Structure 1
Amino acid sequence: MNKLQAMEVFVQVVDAGGFTRASENMKLPKATVSTLIQSLETALSAKLLNRTTRHMSVTAEGAAYYDRCLRILSEVREAEESLSRNRRSPSGRLRVDAPTGLASEIIVPALPDFIEQYPDIQLELGCSDRQVDLVEEGVDCAIRGGRQLADSSLIARRVGTMHYVTCASPAYLKRHGHPMHPNDLVHHRCVNYFSARTGKMFDWYFKQDGEQVQVSLSSHVALSDSCAYTAAGLAGLGIVQMADFLMAPMLADGRLVPILDTWTNEPLPIYMVYPQNRHLQAKVGVFVEWIARLFSNHSTLH
């Protein structure tokens, strides 16, 4: 038995909450994962996991061993990377998750630069407005926006700021007129955005000369995808409020018209997040730094 491999498999099983998900994340047969755990328990003369056909839990001894495995594996990775960092560029599979709009409009067009700098990294970029579970889904790091990050188990580094614009199509404004104050929005058709994970509708925020307004709006249409949300505004379904980097091309050519433009919207911080129980591998570190530089050089994200 390869003891280090068995430790890595054990940590993956605990993090993923089961053998099936761990085997998928590590790209190992489920039988191999099960055999390694059994061999590890035999070598330690200790039961690490309680498992039935439907449920798995960690024993008290398993929990203590899990913590030690994390430290040992982290030190091994750090030792390996400290020797190889100066000899070769970071390498290996890197799984990243990013919101659809940021991925399609900002990150993907800039990726040739990242690939040229780090040709040995195999990047897998998941694009979704759904908030993924990094540990359960085997994601190394993710880009998230929010004033408060719900998952305290993640390390978060702020890499940018997202600004919002409120706008509508010329056809909608011709039919319904321009609101003059955020409170006027209750008399308009507005398109809401909701969380794909929780179903919660997001309020709209405005600020002007010290006056702050938070508006909860009813709507005929609500969406959970930024690209579909933008399309709803272009289709004249109502007034929309979305990140200005997404709306900029449509505002520039007149397909959308800004409204309430003397009011500012509360900016949304953007973070790179990754699990805190993992040593920051070189491939993750260079991607985080690259994203931070990319956003800092973008006119609307700093």
Structure 2
Amino acid sequence: MADIVGSMRVFVRVVETGSFTAVAKENDVTAAQISRAVTALEEQLHAALLHRTTRHLSLTEAGSRFYERAKAILADLDAATDEARNASVSPAGKLRLHCAPGLAQSTVAAALVGYQRDYPDVTVELKIEQSMPNLVEDGYDVSLISATQLPDSIYVAQALGSAWSVMVASPDYVKRNGMPLTYDDLATHTLLKLETPVSPPDEWHLQSTDDAHVLPLTHAPLQVNAPDVMRAMLLNGAGIGTLATYSAVEDLAAGTLVRVLPQYRVRPFTVFAVYPSRRYLEAKVRTLLDHLRATLTPALEAVGERVEAMTNTIGEAAGQAAKSA
């Protein structure tokens, strides 16, 4: 099918100028080419649009109706085109973001507040779900997830930083059951299961500078799939569980949770930003990714350093106590 939009533009300009020649000059073509474009449009529509004489052009009744409709259609098309082009230049509109729980309640929330403050024309809609949605079908712009590795997909993924989980318990639990001092001691304690994309719920992958273990969780009285619920259970003295550094850091600092076997980390993982395509990336997505790299990445690093610093302080204090004894 011939370029009907281009022919409509030619026809509208012919009506507005009243001349094939004037439109030909605007487009740097011949008047005969402009005339043929209008004739081709009439053939497509099976309707005469213009009365032609050697000195005058006038609209037919069908041409008059088509001219009014064509003007409106072209105005809408131009507005849509400008809007789409501006979307790649000026951040604006609704940004639909998915994030895994735990990550959202900590560092991501602060990053998004800062982003929206910097880009007030963008409305951020955040959805919290454990598993990553279908970004295209569900209409998401970006997904923020934690994973040891991503499955093959058509999506684009950017690594924003790394983190790990730690074993923690409440001081009350430790007071009642004692603090595990070695890996083997864990077998005598109540261990809780947390189901996340980062690790399977039925085993803990523990790593230290000296060794590594895969601890099977053969019996756990409680299993959850939300870090905030796991945290609540741990605060209530239910047992020993695992939390990501960014979910545990404030409780560790406040002393409401204590780190168990601090020489061990539970399998490190990466925080990813996942989005549908890198082609024609909208400004709101591009600026969000830039903002997350500038804020979330150093925040994740700072959390890890803070947790390790607390662990080292605890270890030094324990060493001093042992010497005094």
Q: Same fold (TM over 0.5)?
A: yes
Q: List, as ranges, runs of 4+ consecutive aligned residues in structure 1 with deviation greater than 4 Å.
A: 76-80
- Residue 226 of structure 2 is matched in structure 1 by 225
Greater helix proportion: 2
- Residue 185 of structure 1 is matched in structure 2 by 186
CA distance 1:276–1:203, shift in 2 (3 Å): farther
- 1:201 paired with 2:201, answer yes
- Residue 288 of structure 2 is matched in structure 1 by 287
What are the superposed Cα offsets for residues 76-100 of structure 1, whole Å, 9 maximum, x if unpaired?
Answer: 9899547962xxx311111000122
Give 5+ residue unaligned stretches, structure 1.
5-75
State the shift of 1:116 in Å. Answer: 2.2
Whole-angstrom distance in 1 between the partners of 2:251 and 2:119: 34
Q: 1:100·1:128 contact (CA, 8 Å) conserved in 2?
A: yes
Q: 1:170·1:256 contact (CA, 8 Å) conserved in 2?
A: yes
CA distance 1:118–1:301, shift in 2 (3 Å): farther
CA distance 1:224–1:136, shift in 2 (3 Å): same
- 1:114 paired with 2:109, answer no
The one-letter code sitting in structure 2 at the alignment partner of 1:220 is P
Whole-angstrom distance in 1 between the partners of 2:149 and 2:106: 24
Whole-angstrom distance in 2 between the partners of 1:149 and 1:174: 40
Give 5+ residue unaligned stretches, structure 2.
6-79, 306-325
- Residue 252 of structure 1 is matched in structure 2 by 253
Whole-angstrom distance in 2 between the partners of 1:195 and 1:250: 20
The one-letter code sitting in structure 2 at the alignment partner of 1:276 is S
Q: 1:81·1:282 contact (CA, 8 Å) conserved in 2?
A: no
Whole-angstrom distance in 1 between the partners of 2:87 and 2:259: 54
Q: 2:88·2:280 contact (CA, 8 Å) conserved in 1?
A: no
Whole-angstrom distance in 2 between the partners of 1:100 and 1:109: 14
CA distance 1:301–1:251, shift in 2 (3 Å): closer
State how 1:264-283 maps to structure 2 within 5 Å. Answer: 264-276=265-277, 279-283=280-284
Whole-angstrom distance in 2 between the partners of 1:209 and 1:178: 21
What are the superposed Cα offsets for residues 28-51 of structure 1, whole Å, 9 maximum, x if unpaired?
Answer: xxxxxxxxxxxxxxxxxxxxxxxx
CA distance 1:126–1:151, shift in 2 (3 Å): farther
Could you say what the CA RMSD is over the residues aligned between the two structures, in angstroms?
2.9
What are the superposed Cα offsets for residues 6-35 of structure 1, whole Å, 9 maximum, x if unpaired?
Answer: xxxxxxxxxxxxxxxxxxxxxxxxxxxxxx
Whole-angstrom distance in 2 between the partners of 1:257 and 1:238: 12
- Residue 71 of structure 1 is matched in structure 2 by none
Whole-angstrom distance in 2 between the partners of 1:77 and 1:273: 27
Q: Determine helix, strand or coil for the equivalent of 1:106.
A: helix
Whole-angstrom distance in 1 between the partners of 2:214 and 2:171: 25
Whole-angstrom distance in 2 between the partners of 1:243 and 1:99: 12
The one-letter code sitting in structure 1 at the alignment partner of 2:209 is D
CA distance 1:263–1:169, shift in 2 (3 Å): same
Q: 1:295·1:301 contact (CA, 8 Å) conserved in 2?
A: no
